[in-house]
Amino acid sequence: MMRKFIKLDELLDLINNELLHHNACNECRFSTIAPLENTDDTGCNWSHANLNCKGYPASLGQLSDLCQSTTGCQSVAARVIAEAKQHYNVR
């Protein structure tokens, strides 16, 4: 699949807007994206986006009591990232 190249800040805006379309947690935001030096096995050139909930880091692999529905937030965030990784690379 051919990915569209966009700037890091554009990708961050895009995935944050997508996260807002899901009502899992209105106080969660992606704060940064981790670019890779090379593409991974799928052809994507960024590895993940860091999620914050109420201003605090919320690892996608850990549960946190900062969000009212952390498992919902994290699963939605993971889906948003997975889909974005299929469609976008950063420049």
60, 51 in Cβ contact below 8 A? yes
> Looking at residue 39, what is its pLDDT?
94
The answer to whether 20 touches 38, Cβ cutoff 8 Å, is no
pTM of this structure: 0.82
Number of structural domains found in the chain: 1
With a cut of 90, say whether residue 6 has pLDDT above it: yes
Residue 79 has pLDDT above 70, yes or no: yes
Q: Containing domain of residue 65, as a range?
A: 4-90
pLDDT in tens, 16-74: 999 888 776 678 899 999 999 999 999 999 999 998 887 777 764 454 555 544 556 77
